A and B are shown apart, each in its own frame.
Chain A
Amino acid sequence: MNRRVLVGMSGGVDSSVAAALLARAGHDVIGVSLQLYDHSRGGRATRCCSPEDFLDARRVAAAFGFPYYVLNQEELFSRRVLDYFVEEYRSGRTPNPCARCNADVKFTALARLAVELGAEVLATGHYARLEAAGPGGGRRLLRARDLRRDQSYFLFDVEEDLLERASFPLGALTKEEVRAEARAMGLACAAKPDSQDICFVEGSDYREFLAQRTAGLPAERSGAIVDRSGGVLGRHDGVSGFTVGQRRGAGVAAGRRLYVVEVDAPSGRVVMGERGDLLCGGLILSSVRLRAPAGGAASFDATVQVRYRHAGVPARIHMQEEGTARVELLEPVAGVSPGQAAVFYKGEEVLGGGWIARSLPAAVPPRALGAA
């Protein structure tokens, strides 16, 4: 029963408790942190991968007597997450670095190491659940029991065979239970604040990060800020500063509340509209990944979640060629940002998802909202 388990550890309370629970259960645990960002070079204090975080993880490993290592994945992270992040903003989209990182960096790197170390299981502190799918094999990816913490949204794009070996020991616990467990076990990180925002961006303003990261690249094209009928409201220095749904920072005075409703990178136009104009009735998705339970149907119904902490709306998904899909939202959704992930759920199970390439306007924007 005692298996070798590789545990991905960030130094935060969740992965620390996950590792400690597995060690306490008698498994042959190996703790691994990924160094995604080199803090010794810039002095910027971000919320993960710092020496302090690694120290917290080390302390858990020392207290529970299992080996611990730091694996360098800076190059992979830089290529697959940081470059992607910059490119998405410069293309007028709003990136989702956590989902990309899970799919392209964390699970890939840790699973490869697990194989090399002969670990049967790869565990992380994510809030999600996995269940055997039944006689046909495969595993179902489910929302966490603690719905306020559920992170299944960020896991939809992880390769199916990587999830085969995965384990999420916190999937059936609430955050409060995890913290209580951490206190009971005397973990130093028990009271550590939750990580929020994006791990490599200080504070909530990503623009400074973009400016640093793009210092060597050609400057972005400036462009016009226009209203829905094409009337020019102002100018901007580049589309990367805009996100659909954003209100402040657009630099236009219009006497009424305007929102960014569209960012068109090829033309450099940022379109402003009223709140009702944000409503969207459909999505075009690219790079769609369907998990086995979705079956091979050309069209199916699901609840679609268009961003983290979105409750989800009923929708019909029509698969199209080359991994694209058209999603009919059966209830309009406000503020859908291209670049985010749209994840399909049936009940609590993740059927799959895709990346939002385009949003389609709602057929009839309700007036009541537009006047708000």
Chain B
Amino acid sequence: MDHNATSPLREPARKALIEALTRYPGNPSSPHASGHEARVALEDARAAIATNLGVDAAEICFVSGGTEANNMAFYGATALRKRGHLIVSAVEHSSVMEPAGRLESQGWKVTRIPVDRQGRVDPDAVRKAVRSDTALISVMAANNETGVLQPIDQLGAVARRAKVPLHVDAAQLAGRLHFAPRELGISLASISSHKMGGPAGVGALYIEAGLQLAPLMLGGGQERRMRPGTEPVALTIGFAAAIGAGGWIETEILRDMMEAAVREKVPSVRINGGEAPRLPNTSSLLMPGVPSEPLVIRMDLRGYAISTGAACSSGAARPSHVLAAMGLSAEASRCTVRVSLGPSNTQEEVAGFARILSEVRTAAAGRA
């Protein structure tokens, strides 16, 4: 129940990946038959991903994942100028926040657009923040902690009118639900394979045709010089198999069942961002007086993998800038857990989860 951290490999992706590992031993840049086969397979994967997103294959650049795609968007879009202005929302992933912070320390100006209590960005606030030297607007499609969806279509219109490229971190959305960057007026979109049930270690940056972007790395002609290095052919094939696998819309039924069951057993529960449009699979549960870290451990000991709002690489919880931006106190943030479902979850699991949660919570509250 932690699919927003990583979603287990989907069966079609697993099959395609395993098969590709032995079937395509060649380097796609090699002139011989083995290279040629790998090249065709790689380009088929790219085409499948492009079709799913409604874009041209030439607009898909394979990278190592969402984090690299986000870094590439920021450093790539700012490399041609010494200084300028950037707009980000206050709830972006750290792989957007930290590049923006680094650029800020190098003389760039950064406007961080606040969100309302439901975690939503106001497109009008973004419109007003645009300056003549704004080089990039970056707002995520769906938040990893709350699942809250941003009004990307309206933001796309704002960006188009202002003639500023819009970057969208779509790691939690693309491949799960319909996501069409071109229709939305997006110039750059970050896509992660493992969040949708593909293999980790691969992702893509959608780069709108004609957009000027500098590469992060130099060293070869791969990916139209945007991302040198031999392509991981098998990973891209697993990625392409996952992007069409479906099963995510259905998680909404399970998620709503789970929330209803938790509400019944824990009447004090609040759902962060619960009134905003959300991903179908994500629920950010605030249970006042129940600290999340021990709750997550107790649930794990009972076989349920959920997560605190935000975590360090060590696995320890850390304060969430997302919940803080939504106006939650540090205490409320400490009492929030994230449940994120995927196609593999079942009704029995969700019902069991709510039951164990209320047991564990009652025990914890009784001892406190």
Contacts and interface: CB of A to CB of B under 8 A. Distances in A.
B33 interface: no
B312 A69 contact: no
A71 B293 contact: yes
Given A51-B314, A71-B316, A118 B294 contact: no
B314 A117 contact: no
A302 to B, nearest CB: 36
Interface in A208-248: none
Contacts of B314: 33, 35, 51, 54, 70
Contacts of B316: 35, 70-72
A197 interface: no
A72 B312 contact: yes
B78 to A, nearest CB: 23
B363 A118 contact: yes
Interface string B288-301: 00000110011011
A72 B317 contact: yes
A117 B297 contact: yes
B318 interface: yes
Contacts of A51: 313-314
Contacts of B297: 30, 67, 69, 113, 116-117
A116 B368 CA distance: 8
A219 to B, nearest CB: 25
B367 A116 contact: yes
Interface residues of A, number: 19
Interface in A49-71: 51, 54, 67, 69-71
Nearest to A113: B294
Question: What's the interface size class on B, roughly?
Answer: 10 to 19
Contacts of B318: 38, 72, 74
Secondary structure class of chain A's binding surface, majority of residues:
mixed
A116 B313 contact: no
Interface string B224-241: 000000000000000000
A116 B317 contact: no
Interface in B352-368: 363-364, 367-368
A30 B294 contact: no
Contacts of A40: 312-313
A101 to B, nearest CB: 17
Nearest to A69: B297
Contact of A117 (B298, B312, B313, B317): B298
B315 interface: yes
Given A35-B314, A40-B312, A72 B293 contact: yes
Interface in B268-307: 293-294, 297-298, 300-301
Nearest to B295: A116
Interface string B309-353: 000111111100000000000000000000000000000000000
A30 B302 CA distance: 13
B298 to A, nearest CB: 6
Given A67-B301, A113-B294, A117-B294, A35 B367 contact: no
A115 interface: yes
Contacts of A35: 312, 314, 316
A360 B294 CA distance: 47
A118 B302 CA distance: 13
B323 to A, nearest CB: 15
A71 B301 CA distance: 15
B82 to A, nearest CB: 27
Contacts of B312: 35, 38, 40, 70, 72
A118 B301 CA distance: 11
A352 B46 CA distance: 70
Contacts of A116: 294, 297-298, 364, 367-368
Q: Which of A33, A67, A69 has the most chain B CB atoms inside 10 A of its CB?
A: A69
Contacts of B300: 67, 69
A51 B109 CA distance: 34
Contact of B367 (A33, A38, A115): A115
Nearest to B317: A72
Contacts of A117: 294, 297-298, 301
Nearest to B293: A71
B175 to A, nearest CB: 28
Nearest to B364: A116
B99 to A, nearest CB: 16
Contacts of A118: 363
A30 to B, nearest CB: 7
B307 to A, nearest CB: 12
Most buried by A among B298, B301, B316, B317: B316
Nearest to B296: A69
Given A113-B297, A116-B298, A117-B294, A70 B367 contact: no
Contacts of A67: 297, 300-301
Nearest to A4: B301
Contacts of A115: 367
A112 B295 CA distance: 12
A337 to B, nearest CB: 34
Interface in A14-39: 30, 33, 35, 38
Interface in A65-84: 67, 69-72, 74
A116 B300 CA distance: 13
The 10 closest A-B pairs by CB, nearest first: A72-B316, A116-B294, A35-B316, A70-B316, A70-B314, A70-B315, A72-B317, A69-B297, A115-B367, A116-B364
Given A30-B297, A40-B313, A116-B298, 5 more contacts: A30-B301, A67-B301, A71-B293, A112-B294, A116-B368
12 contacts: A30-B297, A38-B318, A51-B314, A70-B315, A70-B316, A71-B293, A71-B316, A72-B317, A113-B293, A116-B298, A117-B297, A117-B298
